[in-house]
Structures are given as structure tokens and as C-alpha cells.
Amino acid sequence: MHAYAGKTLRVDLGRQHVHEEPLDTDAAQAFIGGRGLATKMIYDEVNPKVDPLGGANKLILATGPLTGTSAVCGSRFMAVTKGALTGAIACSNCGGNFGPELKFAGYDMIVLEGAAKKPVVIVIDDDQVEIRPAGKLWGKNVHETEDTLHEQLGGDFKCVSIGPAGEKLVRFANIMSDKNRAAGRSGVGAVMGSKKVKAIAVRGSGGVSAADPKAFRAACLDSLEKLKAGEVTGGGLPKFGTAVLVNVINEHGLFPTRNFQQGQFEAAEQISGETIAEKILVRNRSCMACPIGCGRVTAVKDGKYAGFGEGPEYETIWALGADCGVSDLAAATKANYICNELGFDTITAGGTIACAMELYEMGLITAKQVGCKLNFGNGAALVDLVTKIGYRRGFGDVLAEGGARVAQKFGRPDLFMGVKKQEFAAYDARGAFGMGLQYATSNRGACHVRGYMIAPEILGNPVKMDPLTVKGKAEMNIAFQNTVAALDSSGTCLFVTFSIGAPELAAMLKTATGFNYTVDKLLLAGERIWNLERMFNLQAGFTGKHDTLPKRMLREPMPAGPAKGKTVPLSKMLPEYYRLRGWDAQGRPTKQKLAALGLS
């Protein structure tokens, strides 16, 4: 067996029992690994109607065949489950060192089943697997948890853990790894918390081999050279991190500001990647096998927000900055550190607080309810509230449900800025129509990384598309969604797609696995994965009606900037999208389509 470790570890938490099973190589060929293979298992084994926080849900941490190899950015694992925030299929991608270490220990994936009665820690030392009581680790934050595990077990164990947010079932809790890396969307950490798994520590002495070592090495080097030469992967990202986008997106007028009331933030300069590099950057940090190194190790040296950690990256500095109208880099950075330590999603946290801020300014939420003023721009309230969210204290308990439920509770569901109960990322779709279609159709709720239409619409990568037209958007969206589904399943990082595409990915996968992957087969696998995710959601109760956007996107024209006067013409794109997908008018995959994909 090449590229794959060849074994799956199943952990039955109710019975405190673990067992191994061999990798299904036919399924691996059809679904690649990672996101695809884990989704197939969830689809086969979990009733889509289950309570995501109940014992019948399962949580899979899945690596891909390129994880733990020299493939560019081959560090990723996916957390796949039914999402606590959305009730839809969730798959949340994480880098760092855990994924590769899991493979070195001999496992492609871990399946967590049932729920433990008392909190546990799972320790994997090659083929020695133990379920131990979590004891005093329960209640500790993510950093304390990893430090304690390293003291107890040894510094060479790689960890994933949940913080207080996961324990307390904050609906957008993360699974954290290497302290500051996150499987960060849809509430996969709340699912782990519901199973009472505090942490998984793994150490492996084994290795991963390629089917054709010489050809695989050549394919890796080819991609590596392209990443080094790429403007984004070899320039912008290493130099300024993802926050290099702040100025770019702001200039294009789609930098969502104050809960998407505006598309440009007057203080963008103060929270830009350039400013981060100048004021707080200590050094870059890479996930394993990554030549980019977009990770930002940062320090706020003095003042009331002094601290040390990683971030903010682009989506975070937007969510905790512009979306909340906060221009104080130190406050937003501190809020980021707290999110990481307590273990929850910065995007949904920022989006939820921004929504609450708008409700507050409208008088629908009072200072008495919150415990302080909650006006836009209030950095002190932001820092206070993220702490309260993490522990579900005071008003944080309300916010811990996410923006959709907050907006519903206070009588203005239309002020939730997201889709399928998950918040938008840092792009106002009125300034990039294809991104709007992407948000509406994403299988895990609003999301920028299912199909990053900003690349063609704003950055001109791989081709430049006019962001303010509908032409070609459905087709491009589908191509992106399928490619990324395949990429996420392979174990490498979305960021490689700034410099390489399906041909390079197919070359690495083919030579690593020995399976005869071609570009067509790879994209077909991506399409198969996308359709299976869709089937899960349809069976969970979602319909085409959920493929929509908030009223603000559809009917409130952008007030100013390059996209002034625009709304998202979703109804002009969605039918074409369904048709090109081979789905019926209600967005259901047809029998013929499912048969063609081998899913019937």
C-alpha cells in the first residue's frame, strides 16, 4: 500500500473500545481520501436527520494520500461530521503537524463513534491506542491542554484538542491543532465536545511511501517550483500572510463592513497585512511540508491587549475588525488569540458579534442585556464578548448559538449575514456575483473555500472574470467546487491552487498512490464528492430553497464604492448552476447524474 497508511482507527466511545479496519481501496480510488472518503463513510453510516450533538452522529478526522509526503503543503486533515452550527454536512480542513503524524502512526483516519460518559483523551503511540480519563484537562484552554499533554507524554506527540468552547458546545467551536491551527468552521469542535473527547495525541515512527518514488519526487518538485515562482504563493502570502488581501478587497469595494452595511472600511489600512507585518509580526510559521509559510506568529508587546500567539489572518482580521467596525489592530488581535485559546471560529464569532452590534444600534438588543455598550467599533466589548462566548457566560451564552439564531431571537432574521446558518466570509457578494452563487450553493453553508471565486473575479487567477456580471459564473463555480473537493480529499492545501491546478495534482496523486488518476478522473471524483454531500444535505432536510442569500445581498444595493448600486442577481445564476450540475429545478441530483457518478 502506497501513499495511504492502509488502516482506519475506529473508537467506540460509549463502550470504550477501539479497533482497526483495513482501508477500502475501491472507495479510496473513487473518493481519493480525506474529505471524500470520510463523507462517503458519514453518508453510509450516519442518518442525516440525527442531532449533530447526539451520540448517533460520528466525527471523522481524515488525512489524504498526500498527507505526510513531500507534496506541496501535504499536511492536511479534514474533520467531517454533521455540523453543529448548520445541521449540514461539515468538513473542516486543518494543517499543522497532526495529520502527517497520524499517518506515521499507521492510520489514514480516526472515526469517533458514540459518546463517552466522562471526558476522555485518546493517546495513539504507533499501534498502542488508549482511551484515558481527561481528568483535570477538561476545562483547560487549548494551549494549556497541549502543554500538559506534552509534559505528560513527551514533546514529540502531535495534538488536536477542544477548548472550553468545544466542551460547552458553542455551536461554532473548533478542533484546534498545534495550538493555533484550526479545523475552524461549522462547529466540528462542538461535535467533539458532545462526544466528550478533550484531545487526541499521536506519535508515529512509521512512514509513507510513494508508488513511483522517482516520478513522485519529480511531480513534487515541479509543483514546488511553481509555488516558489507564483506571485501569491511565493510573494504575497509569505511576506504578508493572507491579510495581504485587506487592501486588495477593500479597494475593490467588497470588504464587508459593519455587518455588510458597507463594502469599504475607512480604517482598512490600520488592519492590513502590511500593517500586521510592520507592527506585530514576529516570524512566519509553516504547516508541515509547506513552502509558503502564511502562518503569522505575532506579539502585541504592550498595552491592555498585550499577548503572544498566531494570527490574525485575513478572514479573522476582517471578522473581528471591519465587520465589527473595529480599527484597533491590538484589540482584534487579542480577540483572535482568545478565540484560538478557547477554541472557536473567528469568522462566525466576528459575524455573530457584528450582527448583534447592528441589532444593538437598532435598539433591539440593550446594553443591559449585553452587560456593556455594543456599538460598532467597540474593541473592548469585542474582547470581552469573545471571552464570554468561549465559556458561554452572560450574553456570550446567547452569542454562542451563532448569528442565525441570534438574529432570529431578536426578531430580525434577515440581519444574519450568511447561508444555511453559517456566516459569510470576508467578501461582500454584491461586489463579486460568482462568490454570491458560491455562498448560496456551498454544501457546508456560507463559505469561501468550497470554490474561491474571488480568485478569477478579483485576483484574475487563473483567468480574469468581470465580478459584476453573471456570465460564466455557474460553470466556473462548478469547476472550482469539483476541483477543491478533489484537492481537499488529497491532503494538500487550497492555497496551492494559486499556482498549480488539476494537472499537477493528478500527477502527484497518480505517482503517489499508483492509481491511474488523470485530470478527468480527478474532477469526476470531485463531482462525485460534491453530489454526495448534496445528497446528505437533502436527506437532512435541506432543499433548493436554502440555496439563497440574505435580503441585504439580494435587494439592498451596495451603498458606495466600485460596486455601488449592485445587488446579487442570484436568480440569474442559480437555475443555470442546477442545470450544469445535472440537477432538477429544485436542486436535486437526477437519477442519471447519480448513476453517471456511481452513486445510485
Nearer to another protein, 210 or 276 (CB): 210
Tell the smallest beta-carbon distance from residue 276 to another protein (Å).
15
Nearer to another protein, 217 or 412 (CB): 217
Helix axes 34-45, 473-490, angle to 10 degrees: 90
Nearer to another protein, 118 or 283 (CB): 283
Residue 121 · residue 200 · CB < 8 Å: yes
Return d(Cα 155, Cα 261) in angstroms, integer.
Answer: 47
Tell the smallest beta-carbon distance from residue 251 to another protein (Å).
28
Nearer to another protein, 181 or 388 (CB): 181
Nearer to another protein, 104 or 172 (CB): 104
Return d(Cα 85, Cα 64) in angstroms, integer.
Answer: 25
Tell the smallest beta-carbon distance from residue 287 to another protein (Å).
7
Helix axes 519-540, 473-490, angle to 10 degrees: 100
* CB contact set of 40 (below 8 Å; sequence gap of 6+): 27, 30, 31, 532
Return d(Cα 330, Cα 351) in angstroms, integer.
Answer: 19
Going by C-alpha positions, the residue among 131, 256, 138, 116 that lies closest to residue 201 is 131
> 555-587 burial, b if ≥16 CB within 10 A, otherwise e?
eeebeebebeebbbbbeebbebbbeebbbeeeb
Return d(Cα 491, Cα 77) in angstroms, integer.
Answer: 6
Nearer to another protein, 77 or 104 (CB): 104
Task: Specify which residues 496 forms β-bridges with.
Answer: none
Q: In this structure, which amino acid lies at residue 485?
A: A
Return d(Cα 322, Cα 318) in angstroms, integer.
Answer: 5
Give the Cβ contact number of residue 308 at 10 Å: 12
Nearer to another protein, 72 or 540 (CB): 72
Tell the smallest beta-carbon distance from residue 203 to another protein (Å).
9
* CB contact set of 95 (below 8 Å; sequence gap of 6+): 73, 75, 76, 177, 181, 287, 288, 290, 493
The C-alpha cell 490600520 sits at 270
The C-alpha cell 484552554 sits at 141
Burial environment of residue 416 by CB neighbours within 10 A (0 to 12, 13 to 18, 19 or more): buried
Residue 436 · residue 570 · CB < 8 Å: yes
Tell the smallest beta-carbon distance from residue 147 to another protein (Å).
9
Residue ranges in contact with another protein by CB under 8 A: 68-70, 97, 100, 104, 178-179, 204-210, 213, 217, 221, 224, 227-228, 238, 282-291, 293, 295, 297, 308
Tell the smallest beta-carbon distance from residue 289 to another protein (Å).
5
Tell the smallest beta-carbon distance from residue 163 to another protein (Å).
17
CA angle 199-205-211, nearest 5°? 110
Tell the smallest beta-carbon distance from residue 66 to another protein (Å).
10
Could you please report the per-residue DSSP string of 396-429?
HHHHTT-HHHHHHHTT-GGG--EETTEE--S--G
Tell the smallest beta-carbon distance from residue 8 to another protein (Å).
20
- Using DSSP's 3-state secondary structure scheme, residue 580 falls into helix
